[in-house]
Amino acid sequence: MIIARPPGEHERRFFGLSDKAMVAIFEFQRTSYGEDGKPIRFALTVYPADRNQFEMEAGRVPAPDTTTPDASASTESSAGWEDDPSGNSPPGR
- Summarised one tens digit per residue, pLDDT across range 36-77 is 989 999 999 999 999 998 888 777 767 777 777 665 554 444
Is the pLDDT at 6 greater than 90? The verdict is: yes
At residue 88, the pLDDT reads: 47
Task: Please give the residue that has the higher pLDDT: either 71 or 35.
Answer: 35
Q: Quick one: which of 74, 91, 73, 90 has its CA closest to 82?
A: 90
Q: Once rounded to an integer, what is the mean pLDDT over residues 14-41?
A: 92
For residues 22 and 12, give the distance between their C-alpha atoms in angstroms, rounded to a whole number. Answer: 10
Q: What is the reported pLDDT for 72?
A: 54
Instruction: Give the C-alpha separation, 86 to 30, whole Å.
Output: 28
